[in-house]
Amino acid sequence: MAGGVGLAPFLLSLERGGPGPALVLFGGRTRERVAPAALLPRGTPLELATDDGSAGFHGTVGDLLEKLVEEGRMPRNSHLQVCGPEPMMAAVAALADRAGLPCLVSLETRMGCGLGICAGCAVDLRPGAEGYGGAEKVLACKAGPVFPAGDLAWEKG
Ligand code: FES
């Protein structure tokens, strides 16, 4: 699942043959914003969503996922990989949790140094998240940027 520039990591991943078999859900505000879908490898299963309904599903990519889940079109063994704006990823993380779907998120956190020095990329962990030594925050540049969605403390609203 990708929103906006969040499509970028999937282009490389799919070009290299993983993950598979993959259905790409790609959302943006308008038809122009989802035009980069043309960069996906030929034949990639794709569903588009646009906020204004100018291409694909009329709504957010999270709404599209919800529709697919409700229609039983997400196989039980589906794994979600998500990259996009934080509100979109937070909504998908909540939906994945409700639907019992494993979900990895790739954060678009701003990184000042990328070396673990500036602490500008700190992200909050969900209380009790395992594997972080009891820490309340971690550095996305060192521990991520990919995390299990359930490990993070998503801001409400
Ligand atoms: S980007 Fe500086 S600590 Fe992560």
pLDDT digits (tens, 9 = 90+) for 51-68: 999 999 999 999 999 999
Q: How far is the CA of 111 from the centre of ligand 1 (A)?
A: 5
Domains defined along the chain, listed by start: 2-106 (3.40.50.80), 109-144 (no CATH)
Distance from residue 119's CA to the centre of ligand 1 (Å): 5
Per residue in 89-115, pLDDT (tens digit) is 999 999 999 888 999 999 988 899 999
If pLDDT is split at 50, 70 and 90, which confidence band does 156 have? low
- Give the distance (Å) from ligand 1 centre to CA of residue 108: 13
Q: What is the pTM of this model?
A: 0.89
Give 155's DSSP letter: P
DSSP string spanning 79-134?
-EEEES-HHHHHHHHHHHHHHT--EEEE-----SSSSSSS-TTEEEBPTT-TTSTT
Token couple for 40 = 């996906």
pLDDT in the model for residue 22:
83
- Residue bearing the CA closest to ligand 1, atom 3: 116
Judge residue 20's burial from the number of C-beta atoms within 10 Å of its C-beta, 0-12 exposed, 13-18 middle, 19 or more buried: exposed
- Closest ligand 1 atom to residue 140 Cα is 4
Candidates 108, 114, 135; CA nearest to 124 is 135
Closest atom of ligand 1 to 117 CA is 3
Per-chain mean pLDDT for the chain = 91
Which of left, alpha, beta for 56 (phi over 0: left; psi -120 to 50: alpha)?
A: left
Contacts of 91 (CB under 8 A, 6+ apart): 60, 62
Q: Which residues pair with 28 in a beta bridge?
A: 50
- pLDDT score for 21: 67
Cα–ligand 1 centroid distance for 121 (angstroms): 5
Verify whether ligand 1 is closer than 6 Å to residue 150 (CB atom).
no
pLDDT for the residue 20? 63
β-bridge mates for residue 139, sequence order: 122
